[in-house]
Every structure is written in structure tokens, then in C-alpha cells.
């Protein structure tokens, strides 16, 4: 289907900069990515809001109940925690973002990616595997596991901000959901730049072989994260997405290795402590991070970082009617002190 759209000159120039940098091949690629991003944001808002309403009429089972559905042999093998002797790869001198983009709204999907990457490396006794295979198997496993977790979320009556299946490719349009997961959480290479949640966190690195095929390998950081026990994957405990040990590792890693993310988290934590606690107010804090971000980018970045901070237990979400505010947890207070000392 063809649409003709007038683009303001300043936006056209920004788009052309991205194309010249090699991140996008053409204006069409850029526009499709932009539309996919916006559709994703809108759908996340509507899906989570609808979930809150629909759950009020659903059966709510006690947290101790077991709802586990059998996983296929492939899923079990590629999510195995037995990854101690896996070969890792060094971080190469590729450009990568200094913070996580707004669509990367959870860390749990990255856990799945690192487990799959580690187990593929183990299976092939290799440091690098084909990126396409890692993308496909990660997305398929995330969908299978995500469908199980989605049922748990509903049965446990989870509300917005606590839904463990958020970010997993469980949408009705399977191909589109998996494609988003591949690009957003596994990542991809564009010229001399690598993108995606796992590469941004320095958990994956990429390179091209002599046939110009893109390869991906798990780093020492990624393997350490993959090896930690996860309550959902390893224990069938659906009370939380990440263990205390995983949260501690991520907080340490972000503060020392992902400085842009640490800086944005610090801005949000400091703002909430000062009473800047609604989504609209926090948009202004996020805008202070980069004056280059447009309004829709600011909203997307705020939604993403706040969601990730909630998963890490740094913020609590309170709702009074239609008004949403955020509060610092004890862990959030401590992390703010830590980042302030480090001047993140």
C-alpha cells in the first residue's frame, strides 16, 4: 500500500543523517522502522490497559499454584543454565548505543537471549554463531515461553508494570512480534554499528565472516548474566521476573559499563525523589538527557526506562483514578546514592 506524506524539512534532514550513517538503507526503511516503533508504543499502552480491565473478571489463583505447561525439548535445551564452559568473545571496537532505547522495556527478554546464545555456542563448540539462527531461535523460544508466562500473568491477576510477559513476542501476528523481538532484544548490525538490547548491554558482540554473514557471540558479561539462576526459567517461580542476584548484577553492570543508561536512571530517580513523579513531569527530566530527542522519542524513552526500573525494583507505580505517580523504593534510594557518588 502506498501513502504520500509531506515531511517537515528538519525531520527529513534528521532522517537523511541516519541513512548517511549507514543505520538505514533508504527512506522507506527508516519510515517503516519509525511506524513500527510508534505502533509498538501505542499497542503496549492499549494492551496493558485492557489487561487490567479484563483480569477483574478472571480467576485469580494463589501464587503457590503450579500452572506450568510442558516445554519442548529444544526450549529446555536452549534455556539450560549449564553454561559454565561456554566460549566467549571479546568486545570489538564497534559503535553501540550508550543506553537502552525505549522499546527495550524489560531485561527478562535479554535473559532469554543470553541463555540461547550461550547454549548455541555450547552446542556448536564455537565462540560465534550465525546471527540469523540466534535471532530465530531466541524469538521462537521467547514466544513459546511467553505464552506460558502470559497465562500465569492472567491467572495471578498481574497489573500494568508487573506483567512478566511484557516485551516477549506473544502478539497475535506472530511474524511481526518475532521480528520486533529479533531486532530489539537480540539486535543487528548496520555498517560499523550494532544495535539492540543485548549488544547495548555488552552481552553480545557481532562481526562479519569472509562470506559477509553476520555472526554473534556471547561476551564474558553476557555469560555471567546467563549463568545466574532465574526464577521463571529455572524454578518455575512466577512471582518475579528476575532474582535478587540478577538484579544486583544488572545494577552493578549498568553503573560501571553502560554509562548512558546509568545517567538516565539517575535523572529519573533524582526527579522522583524531588517530587517530579508523574509521567508528564518525568518527560521533562528525560528531555534534559538529550535536547536532540523529539517529543515522541522523549515519551518512548521515558516509558522504556521507567518500565525497566520497575522490573529492577527501583520504582513503585501508584495509580489514583487516572493519575499515575511513581515512588522510590528503598533499593531505588540506595542506587541513587550510589550513582550520585559515581557521578553517573
- Overall number of domains in the chain: 3
Closest to 168 (Cα-Cα) out of 40, 258, 30: 40
Higher pLDDT, 344 or 100: 100
Q: How many CB atoms lie within 10 A of CB 26?
A: 9
Same domain, 200 and 309: no
Residue 251 lies in a domain: no
- 257-312 residue pLDDT tens: 999 999 999 999 999 999 999 999 999 999 999 989 999 999 999 999 999 999 99
Identify whether residues 112 and 194 lie together within a single domain: yes
Do the domain assignments include residue 252? Answer: no
Residue 63 lies in a domain: no
Summarised one tens digit per residue, pLDDT across range 36-68 is: 555 444 444 433 443 333 333 333 333 333 334
Given 245, 280, 306, the domain boundary residue is 245
Helix (H, G, I), strand (E, B) or coil at 315: strand
Last residue within a domain, chosen from 210, 245, 280:
245
| CA 197 to each of CA 123, 185, 227, 324: distance values in angstroms, whole numbers, following the listed order | 24, 5, 18, 27
Beta strands of 29-166 (E only): which ranges? 128-130
190 and 334 share a domain? no
- Three-state SS at 145: helix
Q: Is residue 306 part of a domain?
A: yes
Residue from 121, 301, 300 nearest 204 by CA: 121
For the segment 19-35, the average pLDDT, to the nearest whole number, is: 64
Give the pTM. Answer: 0.80
Q: Is the pLDDT score of 132 beyond 80?
A: yes
Q: Cα 10 to the chain's mean position, in Å?
A: 30
Q: What value does the CA radius of gyration of the chain take, rounded to a whole number of Å?
A: 20
Grid cell digits, residue 4: 504520500
Quote the domain boundaries for residue 223.
70-245
The answer as to whether 193 is a domain residue is yes
Residues 187 and 264 reside in one and the same domain: no
Contact 131, 249 (CB under 8 A): no
Nine-digit cell at 260?
Answer: 548512558
Final residue of a structural domain among 193, 212, 245 = 245
Q: Is residue 238 located within the same domain as residue 296?
A: no
Give the mean pLDDT of 193-208.
97
Cα separation, 37 vs 28, in Å, equals 14
Q: How many CB atoms lie within 10 A of CB 38?
A: 12
Answer yes or no: do 18 and 122 share one domain: no
Q: CA 234 to CA 72: how far, in whole Å? A: 15
Q: Please count the other Cβ atoms lying within 10 Å of the Cβ belonging to residue 44.
A: 19
Which tens digits make up the pLDDT trace of 62-91? Answer: 333 333 445 677 788 899 999 988 999 999
Amino acid at each position: 500500500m502506498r501513502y504520500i506524506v509531506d515531511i517537515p524539512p528538519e525531520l527529513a534532514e534528521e532522517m537523511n543523517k541516519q541513512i548517511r550513517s549507514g543505520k538505514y538503507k533508504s527512506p522507506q526503511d527508516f519510515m517503516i522502522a519509525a511506524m513500527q516503533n510508534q505502533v509498538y508504543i501505542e499497542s503496549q499502552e492499549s494492551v496493558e490497559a485492557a489487561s487490567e480491565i479484563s483480569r477483574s473478571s478472571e480467576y485469580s489463583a494463589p501464587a503457590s499454584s503450579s500452572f506450568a505447561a510442558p516445554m519442548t525439548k529444544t526450549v529446555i535445551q536452549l534455556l539450560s543454565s549449564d553454561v559454565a564452559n561456554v566460549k566467549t568473545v571479546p568486545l570489538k571496537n564497534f559503535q553501540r548505543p550508550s543506553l537502552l532505547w525505549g522499546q527495550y522495556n524489560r531485561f527478562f527478554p535479554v535473559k532469554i537471549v543470553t541463555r540461547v546464545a550461550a547454549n548455541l555456542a555450547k552446542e556448536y563448540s564455537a565462540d560465534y554463531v550465525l546471527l540469523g539462527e540466534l535471532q530465530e531461535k531466541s524469538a521462537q523460544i521467547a514466544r513459546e515461553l511467553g505464552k506460558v508466562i502470559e497465562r500465569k500473568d492472567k491467572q495471578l491477576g498481574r497489573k500494568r508494570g508487573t506483567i512478566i510477559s511484557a516485551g516477549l513476542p506473544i502478539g497475535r501476528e506472530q511474524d511481526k512480534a518475532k521480528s520486533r523481538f529479533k531486532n530489539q532484544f537480540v539486535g543487528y548490525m548496520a555498517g560499523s554499528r550494532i544495535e539492540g538490547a543485548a549488544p547495548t548491554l555488552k552481552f553480545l558482540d557481532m562481526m562479519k565472516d569472509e562470506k559477509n554473514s553476520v555472526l554473534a557471540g556471547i561476551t564474558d558479561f553476557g555469560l555471567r548474566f546467563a549463568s545466574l539462576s532465574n526464577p521463571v526459567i529455572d524454578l518455575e517461580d512466577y512471582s518475579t521476573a528476575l532474582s535478587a542476584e540478577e538484579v544486583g548484577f544488572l545494577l552493578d553492570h549498568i553503573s560501571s559499563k553502560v554509562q548512558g543508561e546509568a545517567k538516565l536512571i539517575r535523572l529519573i530517580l533524582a526527579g522522583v525523589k524531588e517530587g517530579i513523579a508523574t509521567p508528564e513531569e518525568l518527560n521533562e527530566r528525560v528531555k534534559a538527557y538529550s535536547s536532540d530527542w523529539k517529543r515522541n522519542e522523549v515519551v518512548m524513552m521515558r516509558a522504556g526506562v521507567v518500565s525497566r526500573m520497575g522490573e529492577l525494583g527501583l520504582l513503585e507505580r501508584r495509580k489514583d483514578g487516572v493519575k499515575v505517580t511513581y515512588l522510590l523504593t528503598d533499593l531505588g534510594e540506595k542506587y541513587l546514592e550510589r550513582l550520585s557518588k559515581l557521578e553517573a
